[in-house]
Amino acid sequence: MRYFRKEKIIELFLQWTASLSIVIVICIFVFIFKEAVPFAKHPGLGELFSTRWMPTSPQKESFGLVPLVTGSFVVTVLAMLLTIPFGVGAAVYISELAAPVEREILKPFIEVLAGIPSVVIGFFGLMVLVPFVKSCFGLATGLTAFSGAVLLALMAIPTVTSISEDSLRSVPRSYKEASLALGASRLRTIWRVTVPAALPGIMAAVMLGTGRVIGETMAVMMVTGNAAIITFWPFDSVRTMTATIAAEMGEVAFGSDHYRALFCVGVVLLLATFGLNVAAQKVLSRYRMG
Amino acid sequence: MSGKFSQKAMCWLMRLTAYFVVLVVGFIVFEIIWHGARAISWEFLFSMPRRSGAEGGIFPAIVGTFLLVAGSIAVAFPLGVATAIYLSEYARQGRFTHAVRVAIATLAGIPSIVFGLFGLGLFVIFLGWGCSIMSGCATLACMILPTIIVSSEESLRAVPQSLREGSLALGATKWQTIWSNVLPYSVGGMLTGLILAIGRVAGETAPILLTVAAFYLPKLPRSMSDQVMALPYHLYVLSTQHPDTAAVLPKAYGTALVLLILVLGVGLAAIIMRIHVRKKYKW
């Protein structure tokens, strides 16, 4: 009887700690929204759709999120255009074509890339990439959306590669054997059989990589120039949502409109990454079922 | 014949993408080591910064990073392991378990700057801890919780079912079984996950920016409610916020190198540990 009670207490305790994850997620949503919601009352939600982000202008402050959203959008799209060929290409090579020895050498490098802190990558970008972009394209400054996208691609490649590789690896061997037995070449088998079979996993990898890119802060803040203008040209300076929060939160007065506006930016970020994650998990779980 | 040629070309193209990534990694690491090695000295590592970082060392930043890592791990590791034990040993398929799993996946995907905002809203302002080591550790702990849970659960699940059955058949209770026949064999895998989490915390900048980090504070913290400097934030300040960026460049490279060595050293330890564990327990 004594044992039974002790066992029950332990199980309840473990269950309680497990529920903590749920509590933390709820707390995150509650506290981000709690600080953001008063903005709807005073300057009003319409303010967020204005096209200018000038939170400290002495004449008229304006808190339009449009330049920040387009900034994040441009950087993210460019970064994913770079990430997908390299990330998926490397994954296909590592899982399907590389010799075992080669694989053992390549994989740790990808893991190292995942481990380099974003601020170090940003620093590297500032020292090497930004001057290079400036002189290579003959620009006035190398602090552009393109520079940010290149660094973000570097950070997203490990995510995309490792998840894509997992899903390529889990394609049943019999599929490949059947294709090879029918006379298809190795490469044709990869393109027509293995990759299509692993496609849901690759898609999920790309979505998770996109989530990582949207949420990245430090490297982007260091190399994109942080000009809050609406542009879709890769060689302009842009200001992303994450960089705005990181750069301005230190200087705002607690409870001011500007402070609330930054939490509104946080809400947009939170919802965007949450949506991407849910979608990715859906794709992954459906794939596992079938 | 052209088919054969294009096959070869495609194969090489893929090989190039993989090796290009390797090349870039090598270049980054080399660049930081090449320029950073000259800045590193005994004085740089163990003395206080002077003239807002232009002279002197980075000792308080090293101490700060160490405290943040230790504090956040001390909170997150027990909680993460307990959650993993629940998920792998006790949880039955159902609403609650599903909700926990969704929560963990959600936590893993939330951007670090949003964790910073959350820490600011909850710990710094709502709980009134202010910008302090406590707030920073709590924020970082929430951030690395999913990493620890996922890796611990994996290592628990890797323990063969027969070990549990053997123990239960001999009359041990469930907890006795877990404590003496499951945990000892999964501890290696858990530590690997822990080491990876340490690397992540040490390099993270955005959350501590809002909850703990001091711009320039040439003294050591006295209590958990003080602010501290931290290596990643120090690097950010030196390379972008400092009035005389060119003059502090060697210091910035030195800081980057110390941070890189710390994070990659920790990562290397994890890889060695993983190999060791795999060798020791082959089921």
* A266/B114 Cβ within 8 A: yes
- Which of the two residues, B186 and B43, has the higher pLDDT score? B186
pLDDT tens column, B201-238: 888 888 988 888 777 777 788 778 788 888 999 899 88
Q: Where are the domains of chain B?
A: 42-280
Inter-chain touch A15–B86, beta carbons under 8 Å: yes
Question: Are the beta carbons of A122 and B99 separated by less than 8 Å?
Answer: no
Given a cut of 90, is residue B283 above it in pLDDT?
no
3-state secondary structure of B228: strand
Instruction: Considering only the beta carbons, identify the residue of B35, B104, B205 that sits closest to A118.
Output: B205
- Average confidence (pLDDT) over A118-124: 93
More confident residue, A194 or B55: A194
B226 CB-near residues (< 8 Å, 6+ apart): B132, B133
* Per-position DSSP letters for B2-70, written without gaps between them: HHHHHHHHHHHHHHHHHHHHHHHHHHHHHHHHHHHTTT--HHHHHS-EEGGGTEE--HHHHHHHHHHHH
More confident residue, B276 or B74: B74
Contact yes or no for A86/A153 (Cβ under 8 A): yes
pTM for this entry: 0.90
Q: A122 and B202 in contact by Cβ < 8 A?
A: no
Contacting residues of B for A250, CB less than 8 Å apart: 209-210
Residue A207 CB neighbour total at 10 angstroms: 24
B172: nearest Cα among B163, B185, B160? B163
Q: Which tens digits make up the pLDDT trace of A172-223? A: 999 999 999 999 888 889 989 999 999 988 998 999 899 889 988 999 999 9
Q: Which residues on B lie below 8 Å from A27 (Cβ)?
A: 118, 122
The verdict on a CB contact (< 8 Å) between A21 and B85 is: no
Which helix H or strand E contains A81, and what residues bound it?
helix A66-92
The verdict on a CB contact (< 8 Å) between B82 and A7 is: no
CATH architecture of B42-280: Orthogonal Bundle (1.10)
Judging contacts by C-beta atoms under 8 Å, the chain B residues touching residue A285 are none
Number of Cβ pairs closer than 8 Å across A and B? 245
Give domain A49-289's CATH architecture: Orthogonal Bundle (1.10)
B246-271 pLDDT, tens digit per residue, is 778 888 999 999 999 998 888 888 88
Interface test with A, best of B1, B28, B272 (most A CBs within 10 A): B28
Q: Are B123 and B133 in contact (CB under 8 A)?
A: no
Q: What is the mean pLDDT of chain A?
A: 88
Binary contact (B83, A14; C-beta < 8 A): yes
Chain B residues with CB-CB distance to A89 below 8 A: 13-14, 17-18
Interchain pair B82, A17: CB under 8 A? yes
Q: pLDDT digits over A139-148, tens only?
A: 888 889 999 9
Secondary structure class of B82 (helix, strand, coil):
helix
Looking at per-residue confidence, does B196 or A176 come out higher?
Answer: A176
pLDDT at B1: 45
Q: Which residue has the tokens 């193209």?
A: B13
pLDDT tens digits along B114-133: 999 999 999 998 998 888 99
- CA distance linking residue B31 with residue A224, whole number of Å: 21
What angle, rounded to 10 degrees, do the helices at A257-289 and A2-36 form? Answer: 130
Per the document, the length of chain B is 283
- If you compute the radius of gyration of chain A from its CA atoms, what whole number of angstroms results? 23
CB-CB under 8 Å, A113 with B21:
yes
Q: In Å, how far is B58's CA from the nearest CA of chain A?
A: 16
Q: State the nearest Cα–Cα gap between A231 and chain B, in angstroms.
A: 24
> Across the strands, what pairs with A231?
none
Who has greater pLDDT, A193 or A286? A193
Residue A244: which of B214, B132, B111, B135 has the closest Cα? B111
Our CA-based measurement puts residue A230 at a distance from the nearest CA of chain B, in whole angstroms, of 23
Give me the mean pLDDT over the A80-84 stretch: 94
Taking CA atoms, what residue in A is nearest to B196? A115
Min CA distance, A262 vs chain B (Å)?
9
Asked if A230 and A49 count as a contact pair (C-beta separation under 8 A), the reply is: no
B256–A118 C-beta distance less than 8 A? no
- The Cα B264–Cα A262 span in angstroms is 34
Residue A150 · residue A129 · CB < 8 Å = yes
Contact B111 A242 (CB under 8 A): yes
| pLDDT at residue B181 is higher than 60 | yes
> CB–CB of B155/B227 below 8 Å?
no
d(CA B23, nearest CA chain A) in Å: 9
Choose among A160, A194, A14: nearest CA to A86.
A160
Whether residue A93 and residue B18 make contact (CB cut-off 8 A), yes or no, is: yes
Q: Does residue B51 register a pLDDT over 80?
A: no
| A252 min Cα distance to partner chain B (Å) | 11
Please count the other Cβ atoms lying within 10 Å of the Cβ belonging to residue A274. 18
**Which residues on chain A are in Cβ contact (under 8 Å) with B116?**
245-246, 249
A4 pLDDT band, cuts 50/70/90, is confident
Chain A closest-CA separation from residue B222 CA (Å):
23
Q: What does the block give as tokens for B113? A: 């700057």
Mean pLDDT lowest among A15-24, A104-113, A235-244: A104-113
Q: How many residues does chain A have?
A: 290
Give me the residue from B100, B104, B117 closest to A263, CB to CB.
B117
The residue ranking higher by pLDDT, B51 or B129, is B129
Quick one: three-class SS letters along A86-139?
HHHHHHHHHHHHCCHHHHHHHHHHHHHHHHCCHHHHHHHHHHHHHHHHHHHHCC
Helix (H, G, I), strand (E, B) or coil at B224: coil
A contact test, residue of B81, B240, B273 with most A CBs within 10 A: B240
SS3 A21: helix
Going by C-beta distance under 8 Å and a sequence separation of 6 or more, which residues neighbour residue A239?
Answer: A53, A67, A68, A71, A224, A225, A226, A227, A228, A229
Q: Which residue of A has its CA nearest to B123?
A: A31
User: What is A146-185 written as a DSSP string?
Assistant: HHHHHHHHHHHHHHHHHHHHHHHHTS-HHHHHHHHHTT--
**Residue B166: what residue type?**
G
The token pair that represents B198 in the structure block: 């340490």
Angstroms from B159 CA to nearest CA on chain A: 19
Out of A28, A98, A108, closest to residue B110 by CB: A28
pLDDT score for A230: 84
- Cβ contacts of B115 within 8 Å, gap of 6 or more: A28, B139, B140, B142, B143, B206, B207
